[in-house]
Amino acid sequence: MNILIINGPNLNLLGTREPHIYGNMTLNDINDKIKTEFSKNKDINFEFYQNNIEGEIINKLHDSISKVDGIIINAGAYTHTSLAIADAIKAVQIPTVEVHLSNIYSREEVRHKSFLSTCCIGQISGFGCYSYILAVYAIIKHLKNL
Ligand code: DQA
């Protein structure tokens, strides 16, 4: 099972970026925590990808066709603006879970709208690094038809 975890703009600055909202863990810390949590699942391969540029995220989604079984994406602020990323998720037809560290519905109204939610199998928002871990469990459940 190949699982691609995509992080969008500004998530490379986790650890120092608005820690009262996003916590103190760096993106590497989060990725390590995911690897540790699933270290016993020898059938899972993770690929971690971060990019600040919308078109690069779209290219990465296109590149995953026939290579990746499931995608987890935190598109950062592109969540609320990018019809293009939403279209790419639809186009590649790979089951995708949307995640957010913060609870986007308890924040400013502009963050309540997600362009990605209609093309993802589900969304997890508000649990910090555990949003990603819950998303991995969700994608496994989906891929194994549990
Ligand atoms: C975020 C929420 C977005 O609104 C914000 O622009 C981010 C991070 C989150 O993980 O909580 O960059 O996706």
Could you tell me the two tokens for 23? 């916590």
The atom of ligand 1 lying closest to the CA of 21 is 11
CA distance 113 to 129: 21
Average per-residue pLDDT for the chain: 98
Percent of the chain with pLDDT over 70: 100
Which residues make beta-bridge pairs with 50? 7
Q: Which of 102, 103, 114, 115 should be mutated for ligand 1, with most atoms under 8 A from CB?
A: 102
For residue 9, pLDDT beyond 90: yes
Confidence of residue 111 (pLDDT cuts 50, 70, 90): very high
Read off the pLDDT of residues 59-110 as tens digits, 9 standing for 90 and up.
Answer: 999 999 999 999 999 999 999 999 999 999 999 999 999 999 999 999 999 9
Residue-level pLDDT at 56:
98
The residue from 62, 80, 100, 105 that is catalytic is: 100
Q: Measured between alpha carbons, how far is residue 128 from residues 23, 28, 54 in Å? A: 7, 14, 23
**Mean pLDDT confidence for 109-138:** 98
CA distance 137 to 58: 24
Could you tell me the two tokens for 89? 């998720």
For residue 146, pLDDT beyond 90: no
| List of domains in the chain | 2-144 (3.40.50.9100)
Beta strand residue intervals within 25-113, DSSP E:
45-50, 70-74, 96-100
Enclosing H/E stretch for 63: helix 54-63
Does 80 participate in catalysis according to the annotation?
no
Ligand 1 and 57: CB distance under 6 A: no
| Cα 35 from chain centre | 15
The atom of ligand 1 lying closest to the CA of 103 is 11
